[in-house]
Amino acid sequence: MADLKNIALTIEAAQTATDLKSRLGVTEQMDLIRLGFAYAVAHELDLNRDSAFGTRGGSNYDTGGLDQDSLMAETVRIYYPQPEVLAEPYRAVETLMNKGLRLLGEHWQQGIVGSVGDLVPTALVAEHQHS
C-alpha cells in the first residue's frame, strides 16, 4: 500500500479542534493538529482504530502542508517502529492526530489542561526561568 498524501480529521476530532482553538488560544488549525499529534505521542496512545475512533468526514490536510519538515513522520518512525508504520508513517500520523485532539479535549473538559502552558513539564519551565 502507498502512504497517504492527504490525512483527515474525523468529524469528532474536527469539532474538538474547533472548540479548543478558542479555549487554548491557538489560532491556526494546523498548529492545533500538530499539538494534538504531540499530545498523543506524549501519552503513548496506540495506533488502533476501534469503534470509538470517530466518523470519517472531517477536514482534510495535505501531508506536505501539515508536515513540511517531515518531523511528524519521523517521530512516528522513532516511537512506533512497527514495519507497517515505517512503510506508511502518515497513516499513523493521521491516527495519532485524531486521538490526541480527542484526548486533549477530554483533558480540557476534566480540568487537567486549562492552557497551553499546562502542556509544558514543570521541570522545563523551571530550567528555562533559571537560564
Rounded CA separation 67/73 (Å): 8
Residues 7-61 have pLDDT tens digits of: 899 999 999 999 998 888 888 989 999 999 999 999 999 999 988 888 888 888 8
CATH of 6-130, one of 1.25.40, 3.30.70, 1.20.5, 1.10.1220: 1.10.1220
What torsion, rounded to 10 degrees, do the Cα atoms 68, 69, 71, 77 define? 90
Domain residue ranges in the chain: 6-130
What is the pTM (predicted TM-score) of this model?
0.86
Residues 55-71 have pLDDT tens digits of: 888 888 888 888 999 99
Question: Coil, strand, or helix at residue 87?
Answer: helix
